[in-house]
Structure 1
């Protein structure tokens, strides 16, 4: 899809979002808008890189941009910190590891790391950041990005999209408040989806055993009693 078409889609989605009333409709429109904005940023970054390579006549034109999606994050009272693992990145020059900031986004670009380019884009940050006071550090096999908070607030999640998704999950759980059994099942589903491999194994094992017992007539209550063991 062209850059012009994506920008047109974003404008149209923004107009629909202003008119939307239902929470589910707003979630769908917000997610679609964020995805289109991410594609715009990536296309603009690729176009910028291509123009720079053409202007310098560099052999870099043979390299492809690899989009990064995995990173860890943490926070302190003043900073939100992102940690991006890139083997050998300490061998790059300072000029080849750049981060572009806006009040609500960041864009990392790593050039010529073992013959490859890497990029990471994070849009719709949960709260605004101070562009001038944000910075990055190159460490062994890692790029650390420090986002200066504008307000002294605790960030529950990194982006506004993640917050909306979390609110949606919590809302789905609360809808079953009058039905304890359904609520418990949903809670277990959430624990399974958010848990580590060991937690998932325990929940799956307990659920399977409870279903087997229920089929044999040895247990009632929808197969939920065995969750007490967790």
Structure 2
């Protein structure tokens, strides 16, 4: 069953990537990128679940002690980010995270990646992974803080005063591909907006709260811009 689900997710991601190359508006690009990242996280989780199930099949029956220590891990894919001249700041919302001991909230950092671990928050482990950061970071000068219902990670820029246009190389690559695609004459003949809007409607109806908020915000801002353009005329 999980094998079929993996194939389906892979197909969905590939199709979304094709749509991303055709999207014209930045808000549409952001929505599609968010959905792609969500599906990729789900795909990774499924693959790891398959590995864990295979390992359990060949292992002996766990003891009662092992069973009580087992916790469910949740892969996070939603976060906000901002930046200053010195830091890229990542905001991760987790209810009651302030109650977790400090040693159970930690980051594994490299020059081009970060992992946030929150262990045993109400008997669940949380993990946020961001690979292939757009630029390198200074691991020694980076740090993180627990706040009420939130963890803030401060990634120190290796090159200060350099503005990051995206969080990851992948996100920048998607936008560059889209921009290059629309420079061709062939794209002038295509109008993918109707299909994309239909996809966005379906994503809104089936998506989680974060996806619905993002789509609603994009729609509202688009309407406001259209009103502003009309007034200017």
Q: Please tell me the TM-score bracket, short chain as reference.
A: 0.5 to 0.7
- RMSD value over aligned CA atoms? 4.2
Tell me the distance in 1 between the aligned counterparts of 2:194 and 2:82.
Answer: 26
C-alpha spacing 1:59/1:140, structure 2 compared with 1 (3 Å): farther
Does the alignment pair 1:131 with 2:139?
yes
1:144-163 CA deviation, whole Å, 9 max, x = no partner? 00000001211000000111
- TM-score when normalising by structure 1: 0.57
**What residue is the counterpart of 1:119 in the other structure?**
127
Distance 1:187 1:150, change over 3 A: farther
Check 1:98–1:59 CA distance in 2 against 1; reply closer, same or farther (3 A cut): farther
Cα gap change, 1:108/1:197 in structure 2, threshold over 3 Å: closer, same or farther?
A: same
- Correspondence for 1:168 among 163, 171, 177: 177
Distance in 2 of aligned mates of 1:191 and 1:156: 26
Partner of 2:94: 86
**Partner of residue 197, structure 1:** 219
Task: Give per-residue Cα distances to partners, 1:37-90, cap 9 Å, x unaligned.
Answer: x959x96xx99xxxxxx9xx6766321110000000000001000000000000
Secondary structure (helix, strand or coil) at the match of 1:132 reads strand
Distance 2:171 2:154 in 1: 20
Q: Aligned in 2, Cα 1:90/1:178: closer, same or farther, shift over 3 Å?
A: closer
CA–CA distance in 2 between the matches of 1:106 and 1:70?
Answer: 14
Alignment pair present for 1:62 and 2:87: no
Instruction: Tell me, yes or no, if the aligned pair for 1:173 and 1:186 is still in contact at 8 Å.
Output: no
d(CA) in 2 for partners of 1:202, 1:176: 31
- Say whether 1:98 aligns with 2:113: no
How many matched pairs? 163
Distance between the aligned counterparts of 2:141 and 2:152, measured in 1? 14
Q: Hey, what does 1:159 align to over in structure 2?
A: 168
| Bigger Cα Rg | 1
How far, CA to CA, are the matches of 1:62 and 1:178 in structure 2?
52
| Unpaired runs of at least 5, structure 2 | 3-20, 22-35, 53-61, 201-214
Q: Structure 2 length as normaliser, TM-score?
A: 0.57
CA distance in 1, matches of 2:182, 2:196: 9
